[in-house]
Amino acid sequence: MTRKFKNIKGGVTLPHKKGTSEISTKILPIPKLVEIPMQQHIGACCEVLVNKGDYVYVGQVLGDTAKFVSAPIHSSVSGKVIQIKDIILYNGSKSVSIIIEPDGKQTVLPDISKPDISTKENFLKAVRSSGLTGLGGAGFPAHVKLDTKDRIPEALIINAVECEPYITCDYRAIIEEGREIVKGIELILDKLSISKSYIAVEDNKPAAFTLLKELTKDEPRIETVMLSTKYPQGAEKMLIYALTGREVPMNGLPIDVGVVVMNVTSVLALFKYCQTGMPLVSRRVTVEGDGVADKGNYQVVLGTYIKDIFEYCKGDNQKTLKVLCGGPMMGITAESYETPVIKQNNAFLFMTQEDLDFIEETACIRCGRCIDACPMGLMPLTLNKYALAKMTEELEKYHIMNCIECGACSYVCPAKRHLVQSFRVGKDLLKKAKVKNG
Amino acid sequence: MLKEILIPIAILGGIGLFFGIALTIAGRVFEVKKDERVEKIRQILPGANCGACGYSGCDLYAQAVAEGKAEGNLCIPGTNVTAVKIGEILGIEVETQKTRVMRALCCPDVSKKFEYSGIKTCEAANLAYKGENTCNYSCLGYGDCVVVCPHDAIMMKNGAPIIDPMLCTECGLCAKACPKNLIQYVIGECGYFVACVSEDNGKTTNRNCKNGCIACKLCEKACEDDAIHVVNNVAIIDYDKCTKCGKCYDVCPKKIIKKFCSSY
């Protein structure tokens, strides 16, 4: 590489722990029961479109809403709807989920056919009906991201950074289905008439870089770039800064600085949909942690319970203390083994006593390491103080809403303060205060 | 010599006289009419600046009452005594509030869904799957209400707050701090209240908590005054109709209808 890229502000250097990167993806068998929640994306919750007792096919729409920022949810199995129940999501909000008993035949919905993607409008419509959301972890509906209205983005950035430790599902996707990914990128470039695309890979994944370089050598529009390893470089705003030097404005979107960022797995899913018409019903997840014996990447149908993955991977119930949905930095702890796999889950980490340390939090010593680590240039120690004191005006003044909850501050904090959790509380308080004051 | 002293005195005296007259005239012309009732009302208010009336401080509340923007009975620490005095000052009749006490409507007997190791406040715990208790409506027990109480009237016992009516001034700060909305007013000198707010159906509530309202409607049938009804799977007492006969208390199979008295 001759080009020099910017270093992101702040951030931390983490151990890579990509132990599953050389294990090829296996397919998890269809479980006995699947549970499909109606909220698997940022935005409006979907309304249930099926009734108890209905027979559903693979790819049939189970829930949808007329709101723009949303994505339809499809059945991942064929079988009978046995229950529609109320659930509590990880953030305490209420939602509904549909429980389906699969018949094991995986009968595909007869209507499924290759979508019409002749024009840009039809393409965006197809993206929405594919139910695709950002598969990197945020779950932002893909059609909202790609619908740039009359602005034509200067560049499409493909995020293959995968900066969190343990997770290797994007890497395996590149190694196993690199050709499809490149075709998917070409498809998006054609449909949205974008002239340039960058695939960003961190330098701890040289095999992926070499492969992508090889696959794109005849395509001048796509450039594969290697970035130095740093967390949280995979965050959308950080990646844009590292590649282009541009900063996304506050409350803005990447399109405001002329780029669109997509995760590499999302591109793959989109390409597969355009080829077959089969919506997003399964995904690749990394199963890691010392709680399971068979680590690796698995292709699972959405709605599979964690306990099914746990059993299939020969999990040890005595050793496992905590199950993380996502990476160790930003992952959300699962409530129980009866938590289903949703679209944005890229990894399940079965943590044991050795991986975790429950250190009591102590007083802030105002060392300022969190300020150095914050990639967004915030002051975590001040925000923490105000969030715990419920001072919403000050929280807004110190821009708590800009926090991307990457966890870099909590990682470096010598007092082990629960910084990110306090920011979640603070954001919730600020939202409530804004509703109250109109 | 004398001249050197007299001239400055004359100049300074002149300036003083000029400004004195000017300020007096200005004071008369631009006088801000002050409502003397505001000052009187302010003096009878307790001065706790608790904010329970909805205004940030006693000064602003006094002003709002005098201007007729607020009711005269909103001062909770001042009780009805203040309300009557405000009525006298304003020359109007102020409707007095009914006697009421604050009670926590939960006596949890729950098990845990998972072990929570985050920030030890109810607000934070509530954001993680609605807390670690099996019942999503139950008291989380981290004591946000205890911390916020300015009168030290609350203590945690058996996982739920106990409010001392002798210390409580009913300012309502604890009710605002509770993310589960468990602390509510119960009306009357003495009487009964339902110590559960779970809107889950009876089966779910019974599985989640041993002390939960299972919506069996026995109280509704036992009540002769049509004062207790099961709404959204939880019994609610209408204090306007309740005659405090105690029949609901006797029939409740879960013993979650409890007695209260404002004096102990």
pLDDT (tens digit, 9 = 90+) per residue, A178-203? 999 999 999 999 999 999 999 999 99
Which of B111, B123, B135, B201 would you mutate first to test chain A, the one with the most A CBs within 10 A?
B123
Say yes or no: B201 contacts chain A, CB-CB below 8 A: no
Among A223, A257, A276, identify where a domain stops. Answer: A276
Say yes or no: B264 contacts chain A, CB-CB below 8 A: no
Domain hosting residue A252, numbered range: 120-276
CB contact under 8 A, A425 and B117: no
Q: Is the pLDDT score of A424 beyond 90? A: yes
| Helical pair A380-388 and A419-436, crossing angle rounded to 10 deg | 60
- What's chain A's average pLDDT? 91
Cα A429 from Cα A388, distance rounded (Å): 10
| CATH of range B36-90; options 1.10.15.40, 3.40.50.720, 1.10.3720.10, 3.30.70.20 | 1.10.15.40
Asked if the structure places residue A229 within a domain, the reply is: yes
The strand pair at A296-301 and A282-288 is best described as antiparallel
Which of B111, B130, B204 would you mutate first to test chain A, the one with the most A CBs within 10 A?
B130
Residue B187: CB partners within 8 Å, gap ≥ 6?
Answer: B98, B99, B100, B239
Q: Is the pLDDT score of A6 beyond 90? A: no
Nearest chain A residue (CA) to B114: A335
CB contact under 8 A, A425 and B130: no
> Which tokens in the block code for residue A224?
């594969």
Asked if the structure places residue A144 within a domain, the reply is: yes
> Which tokens in the block code for residue B189?
């000198």
Q: Is the pLDDT score of A438 beyond 80? A: no
Read off the pLDDT of residues A15-46 as tens digits, 9 standing for 90 and up.
Answer: 988 989 999 999 999 999 999 999 998 888 89
Give residue A90's pLDDT band: very low, low, confident or very high (50, 70, 90).
confident
Say yes or no: A427 contacts chain B, CB-CB below 8 A: no
Number of domains in chain A: 2
Separation in Å, CA of A388 to nearest CA in chain B: 9
List CB contacts (< 8 A) between A358 and chain B: 117
Q: Can you give the CATH number for the domain in which A230 is found?
A: 3.40.50.11540
- SS3 call for A320: coil
Question: Residues A154, A271: one domain?
Answer: yes
Separation in Å, CA of B202 to nearest CA in chain A: 15
Segments of chain B scoring below 50 in pLDDT = none
Which segments of A280-364 are extended strands (E)?
282-288, 296-301, 322-325, 332-333, 347-351
Lowest-confidence pick of A279-283, A327-331, A354-358: A354-358
Asked if the structure places residue A245 within a domain, the reply is: yes
Asked if the structure places residue A52 within a domain, the reply is: no
| Cβ atoms of A233 and A93 closer than 8 Å | no
Say yes or no: A88 contacts chain B, CB-CB below 8 A: yes
Nearest chain A residue (CA) to B136: A88
Cα B160 from Cα B148, distance rounded (Å): 15
Q: Where are the domains of chain B?
A: 36-90, 100-261
Instruction: Return the percentage of chain A with pLDDT > 70, whole number.
Output: 99
Predicted pLDDT at B11: 95
Separation in Å, CA of B119 to nearest CA in chain A: 6
Q: What is the mean pLDDT of residues A104-118?
A: 89
Sign, CA dihedral A93-A94-A96-A99, equals positive
CATH topology of domain B100-261: Alpha-Beta Plaits (3.30.70)
CB-nearest partner of A418 from B113, B119, B136: B119
Predicted pLDDT at A414: 94
Asked if the structure places residue A179 within a domain, the reply is: yes
Q: How many CB contacts within 8 angstroms connect chain A with chain B?
A: 44
Predicted pLDDT at A2: 44
CB contact under 8 A, A335 and B124: no
Query: Rounded to 5, what percent of chain B is helix, strand, coil?
Result: 35, 15, 50
Asked if the structure places residue A373 within a domain, the reply is: yes
Predicted pLDDT at A267: 94
Predicted pLDDT at A186: 94
Q: How large is the ipTM?
A: 0.85
CB contact under 8 A, B118 and A336: no
Q: What is the mean pLDDT of residues A247-261?
A: 91
Predicted pLDDT at A382: 95
Q: Is the pLDDT score of A1 beyond 50? A: no
CB contact under 8 A, A358 and B121: no
